[in-house]
Structure 1
């Protein structure tokens, strides 16, 4: 990446040096040669602009941490390009003393006024061009900032989606755990009911055997009736004191 940029830099330096030399020769040339030289310089200026565009593209692809140095160099090259264009515009309307005297004769003062007016207009155009270039640079920087913001928003969106998926998985696991605990509680209650039912049957069986035994030994005795009343009291206690029930979810 940097090697390509440096190659463009060398080409730009050679081209600008040649343009500077030709611009200095333009005012001293005869009209025919001057016209040809002006066309040649215009072509080379276009080539220099294309080199600047290539260099600008290379700078945009350089990582941000290394881009600052190349951006400063690009600004200096653009300023140099602007100066070349200014000098070229002035050289196109400038003439050497001999050529001016030959063309204008005694109307030199009028020509000087026209020349000053043209230079003033040229400077205005240059200021407008600089403002346009500054606006373009601001637009490019704004575009870069917008791209960075979009990338950050995209990363944040991915994080939110991952967090949402984790919450859904956690909710599903909690629901599964709740169902497992509910099933365990129900099985525990059924086990307690079965266990209590067995104890009740055992107590009833013992009372029945005891009553039959006493009735067999003493048919006329009231002990059997006492045991019967005891059995009724026990069953009534079991009915009045039911097993605790836990709420099922």
Structure 2
């Protein structure tokens, strides 16, 4: 469980770093398409980071009470970081002076802007869904790998226990045989002594 939580936390850290790098772009010096693309990807990554936080909440609930508090504090810190990233993204999405809601200069608006905006929104959703699906697949593969590793460890432990049991049983049988041999020898010695006394 802890391994899976740490894996989620590592993925969150990578997403956080990626989002921060996108938000660090000087949008005043790049094209509007570059600005929209960066914010679009940042928003998708923030949504995925939120899904990771939800998965970690589920994992924490299954932790034993002895370690749950430590991971709860870590999870709380990640939530705070996520909220800050979401605020920063919203702030960057606010249209600058002289720009329309889509981030294009007002003098570049045309009659077909609503249709273009709808296509752009659909493209954003497709990109976001594709990114989320890809990362979800990666997390599933990682979870499967951890489960297989755990299964292998359990199988190895069972094999070791089986070998130890066989060794113990063998030692016990050998001890019984030695004990029986000693008793037989003692009985023969006693009989020999009695015979020598009588005859």
Q: What is the TM-score with the length of structure 1 in the denominator? A: 0.43
Q: How many angstroms apart in 1 are the aligned matches of 2:88 and 2:133?
A: 17
User: 2:121 aligned to 119, 129, 152, which one?
Assistant: 119
Unaligned runs of 5+ in 2: 1-8, 50-55, 57-62
Q: Does 1:130 align with 2:104?
A: no
User: 2:169 aligned to 163, 167, 170, which one?
Assistant: 167
Q: Does 1:102 align with 2:104?
A: no
How far residue 75 of structure 1 moved from its aligned partner, in angstroms, is 7.0
Q: How many angstroms apart in 2 are the aligned matches of 1:164 and 1:82?
A: 60
Unaligned runs of 5+ in 1: 53-58, 199-249
The Cα offsets for residues 120-149 of structure 1, whole Å up to 9 and x where unpaired, read as: 121122122222222322333333333334
Q: 1:77 to 1:99 in 2, by over 3 A?
A: closer
The Cα offsets for residues 70-92 of structure 1, whole Å up to 9 and x where unpaired, read as: 3565577579869988998998x
Aligned to 1:150: 152
How far residue 36 of structure 1 moved from its aligned partner, in angstroms, is 9.3
* 1:96 counterpart SS class: coil
Q: Which has the higher contact order (CA 8 A, sep 6+)?
A: 2
Q: Does 1:70 align with 2:66?
A: no
Q: How many angstroms apart in 2 are the aligned matches of 1:179 and 1:96?
A: 101
Q: How many angstroms apart in 1 are the aligned matches of 2:77 and 2:144?
A: 20
Greater Rg by CA: 1
Q: Does 1:34 align with 2:30?
A: yes
Q: How many angstroms apart in 2 are the aligned matches of 1:36 and 1:155?
A: 59
Q: How many angstroms apart in 2 are the aligned matches of 1:101 and 1:83?
A: 26
Q: 1:102 to 1:82 in 2, by over 3 A?
A: same
Aligned to 1:242: none
Q: How many angstroms apart in 2 are the aligned matches of 1:121 and 1:89?
A: 17
Which one is further off, 184-193 or 115-124?
184-193
Aligned to 1:228: none
Q: Report the number of matched residues.
A: 157
